[in-house]
Amino acid sequence: MKKLKVLYISMEYPPYIWGGAGIYLYLLIKTLLRNYPDQIEISIFCPKGVTELGKGLPPLKVNIFPVSLSFQFFPARYLEFLVKANLFVRRKGKDFQIIHDNYNSIFFSPTSLVATVHTTQWHECQHSLFYYPSLLRIFPWLAYQFLWSFEKMCLSHADVLIVPTSYLKKTLSQIFPGKEIKVIPHGIDITFFSPRKESKIFDLIFAGRFVARKGIREFLDSLYFLHTPLKVLLAGYGKGRILQKIEKVKKETPHQLFVREIPWLDLPVFFSKTKLAVFPSHYESFGYTILETLSSGLPILTTPVGIASGLRGKEIIPLPPQPEIIAEKVKFYLQNEEERGEANRRLREYFQKKFSLEKEAEETFKIYEKLSKN
């Protein structure tokens, strides 16, 4: 049987990962290779480089086409990748039956084109005001507006758009009427992110980038309303004012704050050593952190964003997140171990049924088969 040749175009792939898009792709490819070993051959065009988040992920049996990128600033880096990816597809695209764009970057394709839309530059533009202070806000806003015009051009060329949530489908259906848009939720590896018996070293954990959109400022401010000394793990990375704010909170509150850029492979260990996770994000297109923490047996307080947008339980922090409310909920759950356990069991069961890697790979492979026959 002749194998289906698929080329993935992605700004993120191990060991160069800085967010959920790269992790999603790695897990999807891993599951496709396991479930369809004689039916699919996978190649990946991605940047060279290494990040802390992507260190140590076992290599998969794929063909890698790495490219060097000159710029570090995201808009410039994205545009450079966009140009080089399209030049590569123009030269090599005919060697593949399916091209799967994992970063909204392909505007030329000689064969069937699938695009997974994790988020859009339009959504990032709407929320860019959370990233930067004062007058500096106008520059990222203009940059995202500029990138959104390119992104729309790329997405318009895709034969099928894959989105992880109905929210994104609703948004894109208005922009691309008539376009086939398939909702396929990302899956979670429940063998890797699973409950472990560990002593609880930390009281709280915040996992994610230290950017304002993730609610890191509100989380830090909530610590002023918690007077019992706590051990707080900030599992992520940031710079500038956020790090200054962390140092200020260390001095002005009784809490111990530990800042660590934890590799993705080590997250389950730290989750198992913590009593409660807090994720007060202003916006998420999906929200992998929610799945990972719950699957690890760690209860989480979260805002109704991404996959948690339909939830209304006591563990939900209303939008916009308020430090006083976060502190109130943290205090309640830390004082009630039984409530913590019940919240985790209920949400873990709900999410694990809905977000399956096996189902994600199956639905994705069906799209490949359908397009290859056409």
- Show the 3-state SS of the chain: CCCEEEEEECCCECCECCCHHHHHHHHHHHHHHHHCCCCEEEEEEEECCCCCCCCCCCCCCCEEEEECCCCCCHHHHHHHHHHHHHHHHHHHHHHCCEEEECCCCCCCCCCEEEEECCCCHHHHHHHHHHCCCHHHHHHHHHHHHHHHHHHHHHHHCCCEEEECCHHHHHHHHHHCCCCEEEECCCCECCCCCCCCCCCCCEEEEEECCCCHHHCHHHHHHHHHHCCCCCEEEEECCCCCHHHHHHHHHHHHCCCEEEEECCCHHHHHHHHHCEEEEEECCCCCCCCHHHHHHHHCCCCEEECCCHHHCCCCCCCECCCCCCHHHHHHHHHHHHHCHHHHHHHHHHHHHHHHHHCEHHHHHHHHHHHHHHHHHC
Tell which residue, 118, 121, 43, has the closest CA to residue 88: 43
**In this model, does residue 163 exceed pLDDT 60?**
yes
Question: What pLDDT score does 119 carry?
Answer: 78
CB-CB contact of 165 with 183 (8 Å): yes
**In this model, does residue 262 exceed pLDDT 70?**
yes
- Average pLDDT over the chain, rounded to an integer: 89
Question: What pLDDT score does 137 carry?
Answer: 59
Distances (CA, A) of 16 to 20, 44, 151, 258: 12, 13, 22, 25
Question: What pLDDT score does 331 carry?
Answer: 96
**In this model, does residue 166 exceed pLDDT 90?**
no
Choosing among 3.40.50.150, 3.40.50.2000, 3.90.920.20, 3.30.720.120, the CATH entry for 202-354 is: 3.40.50.2000
CB-CB contact of 237 with 259 (8 Å): no
Predicted confidence band at 133 (pLDDT cuts at 50, 70, 90)? low
The pLDDT > 70 percentage for the chain reads 93
Q: How far apart are CA 180 and CA 177, in angstroms?
A: 9
Q: Do 202-354 and 4-187+356-373 fall under one CATH topology?
A: yes
Over residues 327-370, the pLDDT tens digits come to 999 999 999 989 888 888 888 887 877 888 999 999 999 999 99
pTM of the model: 0.87
Question: What pLDDT score does 31 carry?
Answer: 97
Which is the CATH superfamily of the domain at 4-187+356-373?
Glycogen Phosphorylase B; (3.40.50.2000)
Phi-psi region of 49 (alpha: psi -120 to 50; beta: other; left: phi over 0): left
Predicted confidence band at 204 (pLDDT cuts at 50, 70, 90)? very high
Strands 202-207 and 274-279: parallel
Tell which residue, 45, 144, 57, has the closest CA to residue 85: 45
Extents of the domains making up the chain: 4-187+356-373, 202-354
Question: What pLDDT score does 366 carry?
Answer: 97
Over residues 38-77, the pLDDT tens digits come to 999 999 999 999 887 788 889 999 999 999 999 887 778 8
Over residues 283-338, the pLDDT tens digits come to 888 888 998 998 898 999 999 988 888 777 788 999 999 999 999 999 999 999 89
